[in-house]
Amino acid sequence: MIHTLTGGLVCGAALGALSGWASRLALKKVLRSADSVFYSVFVAGFFCRLALLAAAVCLLRHEKYTIIIAFAVTFVLLQMFFEAFPLKHGPETNT
């Protein structure tokens, strides 16, 4: 599947960016909703991202450990960048 360290980095970054972007869109959509709705979307997104990471690592189980670690690290970091940082200031309010 992915046979080089560079391939692991690129694929992890691409999948992490896609996952983080989708999660950010879902959270942005429910940002002004009730707390129960927001937290349920947050928890569901967390488990979806965790399942995606587990599935990707299972597919890479026959590769070298350095490739799997590089994939997982870039996957998590790009997810965090796309999801967490743009939402840290919260919604804009007109007062």
At 2, the pLDDT band (50, 70, 90 cuts) reads confident
- The neighbour count for residue 29, using CB atoms within 10 Å, is 12
Examine the pLDDT at 88 and tell me if it is beyond 60.
no
Domain definitions of the chain by residue range: 14-85
pLDDT more than 70, % of the chain: 86
Q: What angle do CA 26, 28, 29 make, to 5 degrees?
A: 65
Please give, one letter per residue, the 3-state secondary structure of 49-81.
Answer: HHHHHHHHHHHCCCCCHHHHHHHHHHHHHHHHH
Question: What's the CA gap between 38 and 34, in Å, rounded?
Answer: 6
Examine the pLDDT at 1 and tell me if it is beyond 70.
no
Dump pLDDT digits (tens) for 34-56.
Answer: 888 989 998 998 899 899 989 98
